[in-house]
Amino acid sequence: MNQTPLRYIYPFACHENELELCRMELRALFGQEPGAFALIDSRLRIEPNRSPFVSMRVDVLLAAGTLEEVIARMAELELDGRTFKVLYLKNGLKRTYEQQRELERQLGGRIRGKADMRQPDVTFGLLSLDDGWMFGICRPAEPVWQRHKHKPQNYSTGLTTVVARALVNIAVPDPQGVRAIDPCCGMGNVLIEALSMGIDIVGRDLNPLAVRGARVNLRHFGYDDAGLVAIGDLNDINEPFDAAIVDLPYNLCSVLSASERSRMLASVKRISKRAVIVSSEPLESEIEAAGLKIIDSCSVSKGAFVRHVWLTAQQPV
């Protein structure tokens, strides 16, 4: 069997409060809307660690109309002495526990090699959809963002690691050659997620205590904070950037007037081609008045607190 992937399957899962954000992130990363099943079927090869909602990437080796066709091809697999197991993927058509195990046994029994259900060298995935079957190699995601939950410094109202990571992916779906900025970086949650994905990003904040906290957090996770974060006002930034993630101040100590928001949004348009804007208030009219085009949007809630998220781009002059 040719082990060059035909395409890639990305199963995903999320809390219902983050469903809109999850789907918005997937649209940004893959350029398509998820269908009836909780998975993305794509020709794009993206590391499964990118999204906090993606559980794995399945490198599809075989697509067939019937299960019998899949089983007949199992003997062609070359394992070169590696151990294996077969896993029925629940993101496709639902089957009972007994049916799933039987399918795994049928395929595993045809593969030439040693099965290891605990620590296999290779995990194969079997997926059943309305139009047939797919079989491939599972590449599990390593949830690196979970390690970022425990920071030395944090705001009680700060972005969670899941939300921060999703916002970065929406702003920077393809990091190649992209220079990004978080001009209201707070304690550095967005910076840490972006840096962990190899994205070229810097942070600024008006609050010296926030900048000090961000530096502590960056060093805690092994990043050299020199030049990464500094005290600065969004409205004073003159450098151009390809992308920005702007979590507008919203706590009791940072209430923005309409004129301040307008000035900040104008600055976002001036310094960045593409921006993700986050606010606790609906700002559609203000964003458009600043000359920014809204490409996509969603809301994400945490209890009674709701964040509105907009993906924007500079309007052509």
User: Got the DSSP string for 22-63?
Assistant: HHHHHHHHHSS---SSSEEEES----TTS-SSB-EEEEEEEE
- Cite the beta strand spans of the chain per DSSP E: 7-11, 39-42, 56-64, 84-88, 122-129, 132-140, 179-182, 200-205, 229-231, 241-247, 272-279, 292-302, 305-314
Judge whether residue 253 has pLDDT over 90.
no
pLDDT confidence band for 226 (50 / 70 / 90): confident
Supply the pLDDT for residue 254: 55
Supply the pLDDT for residue 157: 74
Supply the pLDDT for residue 247: 94
Supply the pLDDT for residue 252: 45
Q: Are residues 163 and 17 in the same domain?
A: no
Average pLDDT rounded to a whole number, residues 207-224: 95
Q: Are residues 156 and 113 in the same domain?
A: no
Give the domain-ending residue among 108, 140, 172: 140
Burial of 20: CB neighbours in 10 Å, binned 0-12, 13-18, 19+: middle
Token duo for residue 199: 């994205």
pLDDT digits (tens, 9 = 90+) for 20-71: 999 999 999 999 988 889 999 999 999 999 999 999 999 999 999 999 999 9
Give the domain-ending residue among 123, 140, 157: 140
Q: Are residues 135 and 159 in the same domain?
A: no
CATH of the domain at 238: 3.40.50.150
Q: Could you tell me which residues come within 8 angstroms of residue 70 by beta carbon, excluding any fewer than 6 positions away?
A: 62, 64, 107, 126, 133, 135
Q: Could you tell me which residues come within 8 angstroms of residue 172 by beta carbon, excluding any fewer than 6 positions away?
A: 178, 180, 194, 199, 242, 243
**In a domain? residue 1:** no
Instruction: Compute the residue count for the chain.
Output: 317
Q: Are residues 289 and 209 in the same domain?
A: yes
pLDDT digits (tens, 9 = 90+) for 66-124: 999 999 999 999 899 999 999 999 999 999 999 999 999 999 999 999 999 999 999 99
**In a domain? residue 158:** yes
Q: What is the mean pLDDT of the chain?
A: 93
**In a domain? residue 2:** no
Q: Are residues 79 and 201 in the same domain?
A: no
pTM: 0.93
User: Whole domain around residue 169: which residue ranges?
Assistant: 144-314
Q: Are residues 179 and 66 in the same domain?
A: no
| Domain tally, the chain | 2
- Is residue 206 within 8 Å of 170, Cβ to Cβ? no
pLDDT confidence band for 167 (50 / 70 / 90): very high
- Is residue 139 within 8 Å of 48, Cβ to Cβ? yes
Judge whether residue 242 has pLDDT over 90.
yes
**In a domain? residue 301:** yes
Supply the pLDDT for residue 12: 97
pLDDT confidence band for 284 (50 / 70 / 90): very high
Supply the pLDDT for residue 225: 85
Q: Are residues 265 and 183 in the same domain?
A: yes
Q: Are residues 266 and 286 in the same domain?
A: yes
Q: Are residues 110 and 156 in the same domain?
A: no
Q: What CA–CA distance (Å, rounded) separates 22 from 34? A: 10
Q: Are residues 171 and 123 in the same domain?
A: no
Supply the pLDDT for residue 35: 86
pLDDT confidence band for 251 (50 / 70 / 90): low
CATH of the domain at 74: 3.30.2130.30
Q: Are residues 171 and 309 in the same domain?
A: yes
Average pLDDT rounded to a whole number, residues 221-241: 94
**In a domain? residue 83:** yes
Q: Are residues 170 and 130 in the same domain?
A: no
Judge whether residue 255 has pLDDT over 80.
no
**In a domain? residue 122:** yes
